[in-house]
């Protein structure tokens, strides 16, 4: 090994001094350069990982929000369908009620008209009877004026009026 040292002109003192200098440089670099760089790289790595985690959570949240949105839209459609169906049922019920009410009113108007016609018919029949009885009395007076006395005349007129009153005009 001595030959090697002489061939390469290695000085042990110089070699040890260089090793000590190298160790000092490594320690100084480790303390002031590598350690802060490692710390910065670790912080950067943590930030990147945090960003990735946040992005994953945001994707999950977005997926949940989309699912909730779809559920709400589906619920809204179901509610809208129920509201429309309920409105249609109410409209149908209201239409039926109005139809029934209109039919009742028509039946009432018809019944009132029939009653009015019946009462007018009765009034007309009564007036006709009264008019005819007056005519019968007048005709009988003329016919029997000459032939009978006043007592017989009164009997004949009363008998004719009674017979006339028994006639039922409602049958015709």
Reported confidence tier of residue 99, pLDDT bands at 50, 70, 90: very high
List the domain boundaries for the chain.
2-171
Reported confidence tier of residue 112, pLDDT bands at 50, 70, 90: very high
SS3 content of the chain, % helix, strand, coil (to 5): 95, 0, 5
The distance between the two most distant Cα atoms of the chain, rounded to a whole number of Å, is 200
Is the pLDDT at 144 greater than 70, yes or no? no
Coil/strand/helix, residue 72: helix
* Residue carrying the six token digits 């040890």: 16
- pTM for this predicted structure: 0.41
């Amino acid at each position: 090994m001595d030959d090697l040292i002489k061939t390469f002109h290695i000085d042990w003192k110089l070699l040890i001094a260089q090793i000590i200098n190298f160790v000092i440089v490594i320690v100084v670099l480790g303390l002031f350069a590598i350690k802060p760089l490692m710390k910065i790289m670790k912080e950067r790595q943590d930030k990147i990982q945090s960003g990735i985690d946040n992005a994953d959570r945001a994707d999950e949240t977005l997926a949940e929000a989309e699912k909730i949105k779809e559920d709400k839209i589906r619920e809204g459609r179901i509610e809208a369908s129920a509201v429309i169906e309920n409105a249609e049922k109410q409209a149908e019920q209201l239409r039926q009620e109005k139809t029934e009410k209109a039919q009742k009113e028509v039946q009432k108007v018809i019944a009132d008209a029939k009653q009015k016609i019946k009462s007018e018919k009765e009034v007309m029949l009564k007036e006709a009877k009264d008019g005819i009885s007056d005519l019968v009395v007048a005709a009988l007076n003329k016919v029997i004026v000459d032939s009978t006395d006043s007592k017989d005349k009164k009997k004949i007129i009363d008998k004719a009026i009674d017979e006339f009153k028994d006639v039922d005009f409602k049958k015709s």
